[in-house]
Structure 1
Amino acid sequence: MIDFRYHLVSIVAIFLALAVGIVLGTTLLQDPAIDLAKRTSDELTNTNNGLRADLDVLRGREAGNDAFITAQTPEMVASALVGQRVLLIESPGSSTAMREAAQQAIGQAGAEISGRLTLTEKFLDPAGKGVLDGLVNQLKPANMVFPATATSWDRAASLLAASLMTNDPAQANTPNAATGEVLGAFETGGLVSTDGDPAKRATLAVMLAPEKPYEGETAEVLADALVSVAEGFDAASKGTVLAGAVPPAGTATGDAISAARDDSEVSRRVSTVDTADMPAGRVVIVYALREQLTGRAGQYGIGKGASGMLPPVTSASPTPTTQSGS
């Protein structure tokens, strides 16, 4: 008969065997496991250090390239826009630094900045379209007729552009008779603000897109509204360039430059530049404006939808066409 002591000895023997097995197992496996972990860690560290070194080299190359372009910009754009007046249009969320850098390059190209028109968030607010429509209907001249498909922003842009822009060099630097009333009403309504003397009409326009794409349910509507403004100013002038930076990867909606490029009709007339945050991009803005003077448009930069980094370098000899502003 098996007694209690037999059971106790058996149980102890089992646990002792398990303990011995664990000790032997860990002793045999300890060194290989540690060695593998160490080798893996060393490989990851070396890879990381290599990537950091590559990044430092790329940053150095970029800094050198930017310094070179910045130094050469006056020569690269010299006389490209002589005799032109350029209106700067700032959208809500656009970069002041980007606008100042673009303004400097445009000035180095020989153009005169007529002033700045800054759109407010209220101007783009979808909930305020009724106010915008009412103001446009009140201020527009009797002979201004809008297409049946025109949005609130299409109509507002057409009215503002007719007041601030011209495609007739003889009328440049002169105010439209209705400009004061139109600008005053839009400013009083908190829809826009101005700087400089935009009332004296410009021949070209540069619109600065927001630094970051719009987000949320109204993102696409807001981006399309900015495209409407760019298109309206292009139609009333010798050309418009919509400039900004490449949006973050994965941005589906809310980016004004992408929205303009996705619209085949708009992209035939309005030029876009998605490298305005780079010294080279500011030169491209000037070249794109000069191309607009010839009646052509293009999509330039490094982002989706760009046809190349810059337009063909040609002289600015205006030729009539339906693809530019009228």
Structure 2
Amino acid sequence: MAIFLALTVGIVLGSTVLDNTLVKSTDVLLDQAREQNDAYRAQIIHLQELSEGDNAFVTTHSGELVGGRLTGERVVLVEAPGASASMRDPLEKMIDAAGGDFAGRVTFTDKYIAKEQAAVVDGLAGTLSPDGRPFPDGASPYDKAASVIANAIVTANRSEQRTVNGATVSVLASFQAGGLITVSGDPAERATLAIVIAPSQPYDGDYAEAQTAAVVSLAAGLDNVGMGTVLAGSTLASDQGGVIAALHDDGTAAAKVTSVDTVDMPAGRVVVVYALREQLAGRAGAYGVGSEATAFEPPVPVSPTPSP
């Protein structure tokens, strides 16, 4: 009996010592975790402060950074279905700061890329083709619509800036009547340059690939008719399924249209202006912080020489 009692007491005492050791070890680990979390939190706060400082600096000095770079050019904003309205005003201000002439906006609605509307878009584009011009073989409804709309709002001839294309006078009104676009300003008085604002989120669903391709077609169509186009969005547009990622997958379009995936940052909007200048010089690139970006900005900002 004494032996069993001794064993019982030993087990109890041993487990108590073990429990105390575990508690102390757990407390130490918790203290270390708290210290590490505090350090991470301090780093995050520091990075946020740096970012806010950078944004404030660029916003304050944006006029100096872009001044005169778009003098003599007229720029139209084209919003893809799902583009954030918060992007448009800062870009308009940047165009103005760069000395550009803001033509207005063409905003594409969700209806434009709805699966059941593809035949409507195709028929409308065929009806409105300038001078009944045929489209290339294999052109999608969105390739056709992009070409028709591009001819209505951009030109590669500076002498045609601020003038209406007589062959496309009813294009914007027809697409508006169909609920496919809305218009602000005077985009029919043609621009030389275009900025296409990407959707704030990648499209989803079984028609997402075609919808994404429609935006790429739009950017490519504008670039084919005008003097340059930039497809601008956030890094989400560079992620898999995003329109900038899709642009990069289309080698032909990517060779002509410049992309910027930091337009939600003041510095990124400065880059958009530099990218437009690069387009005028006949070059294209992929800028920002996404996986396909080759640099944050064009390697050498093109000097703001006056346009003829």
Aligned to 1:314: 302
Aligned to 2:87: 98
**TM value normalised by structure 2:** 0.94
Query: Unaligned stretches of 5+ in structure 1?
Result: 1-8, 320-326
Q: Distance in 2 between matches of 1:59 and 1:207?
A: 29
8 A contact 2:72–2:306 mirrored in 1: no
Q: Tell me the C-alpha RMSD between the 2 structures.
A: 2.0
Q: Distance in 2 between matches of 1:133 and 1:229?
A: 14
Match of 1:236 among 199, 202, 225: 225
Deviation at 1:264, TM superposition (A): 1.3
Aligned to 2:263: 276
Count the aligned residue pairs: 305
Task: Report which of the two structures shows the higher radius of gyration computed on alpha carbons.
Answer: 1
1:32 aligns to 2:25 (yes or no): no
Deviation at 1:143, TM superposition (A): 4.8
1:73 aligns to 2:57 (yes or no): no
Query: Unaligned stretches of 5+ in structure 2?
Result: none
Deviation at 1:127, TM superposition (A): 2.2
Q: Which of 189-198 and 173-182 deviates more?
A: 173-182
Write out the 4+ residue segments of structure 1 that deviate beyond 3 Å after TM superposition.
16-22, 316-319
Q: Distance in 1 between matches of 2:58 and 2:81?
A: 29
8 A contact 1:82–1:110 mirrored in 2: yes
Q: Distance in 2 between matches of 1:17 and 1:133?
A: 92
**TM value normalised by structure 1:** 0.89
Identity of aligned residues (%): 42
Deviation at 1:212, TM superposition (A): 1.3
In structure 2, the residue corresponding to 1:40 is in which secondary structure? Answer: helix
8 A contact 2:230–2:257 mirrored in 1: yes
Amino acid in structure 2 at the alignment position of 1:257: I
Aligned to 2:186: 197
Amino acid in structure 2 at the alignment position of 1:193: T
Q: Distance in 2 between matches of 1:236 and 1:279?
A: 29
In structure 2, the residue corresponding to 1:87 is in which secondary structure? Answer: strand
- Relative to structure 1, the CA distance from residue 17 to residue 215 in structure 2 (aligned partners, 3 Å threshold; closer, same or farther) is farther
In structure 2, the residue corresponding to 1:199 is in which secondary structure? Answer: coil
In structure 2, the residue corresponding to 1:145 is in which secondary structure? Answer: coil
8 A contact 1:295–1:318 mirrored in 2: no
Q: Distance in 2 between matches of 1:111 and 1:50?
A: 46
In structure 2, the residue corresponding to 1:242 is in which secondary structure? Answer: strand
1:219 aligns to 2:208 (yes or no): yes
Q: Distance in 1 between matches of 2:117 and 2:132?
A: 25
- Relative to structure 1, the CA distance from residue 17 to residue 157 in structure 2 (aligned partners, 3 Å threshold; closer, same or farther) is farther
1:290 aligns to 2:277 (yes or no): yes
8 A contact 1:293–1:318 mirrored in 2: no
In structure 2, the residue corresponding to 1:115 is in which secondary structure? Answer: strand
8 A contact 1:93–1:211 mirrored in 2: yes
8 A contact 1:291–1:316 mirrored in 2: no
Deviation at 1:145, TM superposition (A): 2.2
In structure 2, the residue corresponding to 1:29 is in which secondary structure? Answer: helix
Deviation at 1:252, TM superposition (A): 2.5
